[in-house]
Structure 1
Amino acid sequence: MLLRTLLIALILTLSTGCATVKNWFGSSKNKAIEPAELVEIANPIDVDAAWSRNLGDGQEKLGLRQRPAIEGERIFVANDEGRVLALDVNSGDTIWDSEAVKTGKEGSRVFFWRREKIDAGLSGSPGVGNGMVVIGGRNGEVIAFDADGGAERWRTKVTSEVTATPLVTDGLVIVRSGDGRTFGLDAGDGSRKWVFDRGLPGLGIRGNGSPVAGDGLVYLGYDDGSVIALRLADGQRAWEQLVAEPEGRNDLERMSDVDGEIQLGLGTLYASSYKGQTMAIDTNSGRPLWNRDAGGYGGIALLADRLLLADGAGTVWALDRNSGTAIWKQDVLARRQLTTPAIHGEYAVFGDVEGYVHWIRTADGTVAGRSRIERAPILGTPQVAANGMLVVLTNEGKLSAFPQPN
């Protein structure tokens, strides 16, 4: 547990400012881990923000990939003060505000050599569906709100911190806790219908990927490099497939987490591993269809003929959906710790560790536009509304919206 905690602390440190690490050691060699310098874009597209607003305290100390949720013309967001808000996607104006959500008693965590007190605030991103908004807390509480007015519908508790976005589907709320368990909760009252328990490796990246559902199954990526399909009805395992083998001499080398967004196509599931592997899996049998040596801790965006992702080095890849063959790659954003991409018209959009948002043409990989929200990391996946508005949240709680470029 101590080793796992030390690694998490190191990842958080690196993700919030590589320049600080450089100054500790004063060596020019550390430039090799700094984000690549940004180059001037020829004929950049117009990507001015339509609006921005500060939501209060963010999650910068926790290193979580918080993201907003969008349904129709409403954005649902949460912050570390325990507030859940519904905003208008066109203006950013508040529709409702839950104010302070009380989530139980304080707790503590070990941080290097000291034990640090933490309050029991919200830790995950909101999930939305069936007229409700559901979010988890650091003490394992799960709270459901009415999506129209913000009234609390129910709350329950699972066995550990909830950092993954809950999935609301088919009368169930699927919730992942940080101890390897996945819960199927009744969407009406939050009562437990089933639980799937899986052990965790000695080390892993902080956080879990969100569940994805389709055809009566729910799909989950795990820290040991595997993807598991569970039956929605009872939580029983339908199949399991290893995306990346956790090989190495120690826990650090064996890290192979599947933590980014997995994508579901027609009969095919696409998943990427921290170990640098991306796989297409047949959803009926769990059999691999192809495997590609390109992947990272982020997730995948899906188009009709290709999928897009960034690998651990910051290279952006477009892979053919049917074969995994590389269509193009772009490496000018090296070491910028890119998010899972969002598809914004004809562009793939990535956030980075220095607070920049990048628009890359999906057709050929050229960088077309750039905007900086603030000097804070963007870790959560940008989200796109039905009207084309792109919404991006930094780790310090600044939310910005960008209309679709012409």
Structure 2
Amino acid sequence: MPAGSRPASRRPERMRIRTLVLALALTVFAGGCSTIRGWIASDAEKARGPAELTEIQASATVEQVWSINLGDEQQRMGLRQQVAIEGDKVFVFDDEGEVMAVDANTGKPVWRTLAAERRSDGSAWKFWRKRIADGGITGGPGVGGGLVVVGGRNGEVVALDAGTGAERWRAKVTSEVISAPLVAGDRVVVRSNDGRTFGLDSADGARRWVYDRGIPALSTRGNAAPVSDGQRVYLGYEDGNVVALRLGDGSVAWIQRVAAPEGRSDLDRMADVDGELALGYSELYATSVGGQTMAIVMATGQPLWSRDTGTYGGLALLADRLMLADPDGTIWALDRSSGSALWRHDVLARRWLSSPAVHGDYVVFGDVEGYLHWISPEDGRVVARERLDRAPIRGTPQVSTTTGLLFAISGEGKLSAYRLR
């Protein structure tokens, strides 16, 4: 071989490398111009991002009690998991399909059970590999009557013994389950993502009834978890309606429209009632991404009042008012009896706030940057702030009436418990 010459067999390999580098460069410059613009973002572009956090005069003291990791794929899967609480136990699931009972005071596992295993096809380039899951838990947990119930990507519904984690029964519904099943008396009520709701026997998982309601062409990824007053089960639907079903046989008690789909495009017509429904003494409160919040008489379905303020999330119910954050991040306090606005505050504008939770004398929102904000319900002041993680908090924080602790989960799977002092 002449000096200085290169093996001919290596030239195609080098050409392939050059081609790959060129393709990546073109991808960056042709498809990723927004990334470059981000380096020199204009003031107008920055103004559309989350509002910058300002210093607060903290008047409440919050401390993190414990923290555990559930796995970092929950955000990629589009989940907004929140814990279920019963007594001194917290129930949650991880990325691998395990359901766990955790001591609420310490964060130590009490038991863990593999309920719906996730599998990977293992077929991507090693350097760019992403695990593609088939199966796994996507909805829940729901707890009650000695059961912990979760739903899976493939429509599995698994009931475990709340005390030991032993499997009690396993059933199947027609589509992915992405909200927490409801355990109410002798029924387990499960929403599947194709518009159907199933009433299963809590003793053995046998199907007792099914309610089938079509879904629009376009809707948000999320279903409000069913709630019950012991006689009826209430469900928010993608078409802007709240439906009340009789718990025993699944027959329709009433249907009330909260927001009407309006506009020319499917996007404009989105009216999902996706946030948690709130039960009062004799009234139900619902809110829609279509821009309406309504108080409804639970017995009849008749509206008490309606307000032109809505949200993709849910509501926090206090003695005399309810609180929510609209899609712009403005926090509203509405009079519980009339729906009139008591105040509104945009201190957390554009921060994609979670549904709120009541913690002691305050209301808590999670945000897109992983912060938890404790808000005074009297005037909207931020009285305390803690950062859970650097990933969004999508699931609603939950508060234990037994321990007084607040529990929140980030999109990267960090679960932490907080105490007010």
Question: TM-score, structure 1 length as denominator?
Answer: 0.89
Whether 2:378 is the aligned partner of 1:363: answer yes
Whether 2:153 is the aligned partner of 1:138: answer yes
Return closer, same or farther for 1:236/1:245 CA change in 2, 3 Å cut-off: same
Matches within 5 A, 1:308-387: 308-386=323-401, 387=403
Deviations 1:56-106 (A, max 9, x none): 244110222111111111000012210110001111001001146337998
1:29 Cα deviation after fit: 3.0
Give the conservation status (yes or no) of the 8 Å contact 1:57–1:79. no
Matches within 5 A, 1:252-331: 252-331=267-346
Residue aligning to 1:162: 177
Letter aligned with residue 288 of structure 1: P
Matches within 5 A, 1:140-289: 140-289=155-304
Letter aligned with residue 285 of structure 2: Y
Name which of 41, 51, 76 aligns with 2:56: 41
1:216 Cα deviation after fit: 1.0
Whether 2:81 is the aligned partner of 1:66: answer yes
Give the conservation status (yes or no) of the 8 Å contact 1:355–1:376. yes
1:285 Cα deviation after fit: 1.7
Residue aligning to 2:415: 399
Letter aligned with residue 411 of structure 2: N
Give the conservation status (yes or no) of the 8 Å contact 1:80–1:123. no
Distance 1:372 1:145 in 2: 33
Letter aligned with residue 406 of structure 2: L
Distance 2:139 2:311 in 1: 21
Deviations 1:145-198 (A, max 9, x none): 000010111111100000010000011000000000000000011010000000
Return closer, same or farther for 1:104/1:283 CA change in 2, 3 Å cut-off: farther
**Aligned sequence identity (%):** 58
Return closer, same or farther for 1:333/1:98 CA change in 2, 3 Å cut-off: same
Deviations 1:295-342 (A, max 9, x none): 200001111111111111111111111000111212100011111111
Q: Name stretches of at least 5 consecutive residues in structure 1 with no aligned partner.
A: 1-18, 107-115
Deviations 1:21-54 (A, max 9, x none): 9739955432233110001001342212011111
Letter aligned with residue 333 of structure 1: L
Deviations 1:344-365 (A, max 9, x none): 0000001111100000012221
Q: Secondary structure at the match of 1:29?
A: helix
Query: Between Structure 1 and Structure 2, whose CA radius of gyration is higher?
Result: 2
Return closer, same or farther for 1:189/1:361 CA change in 2, 3 Å cut-off: same
- When structure 1 is superposed on structure 2, of 23-32 and 388-397 the one drifting more is 23-32
Indicate the structure whose relative CO is greater, using CA pairs within 8 Å and at least 6 residues apart. 1
Question: TM-score, structure 2 length as denominator?
Answer: 0.86
Distance 1:58 1:392 in 2: 16
Distance 1:306 1:388 in 2: 21
Give the conservation status (yes or no) of the 8 Å contact 1:300–1:340. yes
Give the conservation status (yes or no) of the 8 Å contact 2:187–2:248. no
Give the conservation status (yes or no) of the 8 Å contact 1:258–1:297. yes
Give the conservation status (yes or no) of the 8 Å contact 2:118–2:133. no
Give the conservation status (yes or no) of the 8 Å contact 2:120–2:132. no
Residue aligning to 2:406: 390
Return closer, same or farther for 1:382/1:278 CA change in 2, 3 Å cut-off: same
Return closer, same or farther for 1:227/1:24 CA change in 2, 3 Å cut-off: farther
1:267 Cα deviation after fit: 1.5
1:233 Cα deviation after fit: 1.3
Distance 1:362 1:203 in 2: 34
1:20 Cα deviation after fit: 6.5
Aligned-pair Cα RMSD in Å: 1.9
Give the conservation status (yes or no) of the 8 Å contact 1:359–1:369. yes
Residue aligning to 1:15: none
Give the conservation status (yes or no) of the 8 Å contact 2:58–2:382. no
Return closer, same or farther for 1:287/1:339 CA change in 2, 3 Å cut-off: same
Give the conservation status (yes or no) of the 8 Å contact 2:70–2:95. no
Task: Give the number of equivalent residue pairs.
Answer: 378
Distance 2:260 2:108 in 1: 47
- When structure 1 is superposed on structure 2, of 68-77 and 211-220 the one drifting more is 211-220
Letter aligned with residue 347 of structure 2: V
Whether 2:102 is the aligned partner of 1:87: answer yes
Deviations 1:230-263 (A, max 9, x none): 1111111111111111000100000010000001
Deviations 1:204-227 (A, max 9, x none): 000200001115111000001110
Distance 1:295 1:206 in 2: 17
1:275 Cα deviation after fit: 1.2
Letter aligned with residue 278 of structure 2: Q
Distance 2:399 2:353 in 1: 17
Return closer, same or farther for 1:312/1:72 CA change in 2, 3 Å cut-off: same
Residue aligning to 2:26: none
Letter aligned with residue 157 of structure 1: K
Distance 1:22 1:305 in 2: 47
